[in-house]
């Protein structure tokens, strides 16, 4: 158990809908990262938050947004869902901030299926 909790584990929804994925980082970790794992794109970095502030952005679609709350949990919001958004979404957390020599620990992921 990495200590990173993601809910739900599985999610099935229809095209055009909106969903929210939730992540609770390890105790003491201030950074949260979101990654998308799909068959065609592989594992891609989406976005990083550190202590409530957006820190880095990757290949995140405009239909997707995220935030980190004062209790450090994070949510990834996916809207106007398309079939191609079906993927495994991972959250990871780490203690540190930019460049620091700390490990990122991954949650078990949320499997999103858009039908």
Most distant pair of Cα atoms in the chain: their distance: 41
**Would you tell me how many other CB atoms lie within 10 Å of the CB of residue 71?**
9
Nearer to another protein, 85 or 93 (CB): 93
Select the residue interacting with another protein from 14, 53, 71, 101 (CB under 8 A).
101
Torsion-angle region of residue 40: left (phi > 0), alpha (psi -120 to 50) or beta?
Answer: alpha
Question: Strand 19-24 to strand 5-7: parallel, antiparallel, or no bridges (unpaired)?
Answer: antiparallel
**Does the protein bind another protein through residue 52 (CB under 8 A)?**
no
Nearer to another protein, 86 or 102 (CB): 102
**Does the protein bind another protein through residue 13 (CB under 8 A)?**
no
**Does the protein bind another protein through residue 102 (CB under 8 A)?**
yes
Select the residue interacting with another protein from 96, 113, 114, 115 (CB under 8 A).
96
8 A C-beta contact, residue 73 and residue 25: yes
Contact region for another protein (CB under 8 A) — 16-24, 50-58, 68-76, 77-85? Answer: 50-58
8 A C-beta contact, residue 101 and residue 84: no
- Which residues, listed in sequence order, are joined to residue 92 by a DSSP beta bridge? 33, 106
Q: Which residues bind another protein (CB under 8 A)?
A: 2, 31, 33, 35, 42-45, 48, 55-56, 58, 88, 90, 92, 94, 96-106, 108-109, 111
């Amino acid at each position: 158990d990495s200590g990173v909790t993601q809910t739900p584990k599985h999610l099935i929804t229809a095209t055009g809908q909106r969903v929210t994925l939730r992540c609770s980082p390890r105790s003491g970790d201030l950074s949260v990262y979101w990654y998308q794992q799909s068959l065609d794109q592989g594992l891609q970095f989406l976005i990083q938050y550190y202590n409530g502030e957006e820190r880095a952005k990757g290949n995140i679609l405009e239909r997707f947004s995220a935030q980190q709350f004062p209790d450090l949990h994070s949510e990834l919001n996916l809207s106007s869902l398309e079939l191609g958004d079906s993927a495994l979404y991972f959250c990871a957390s780490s203690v540190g901030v930019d460049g620091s020599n700390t490990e990122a620990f991954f949650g078990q992921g949320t499997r999103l299926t858009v039908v």
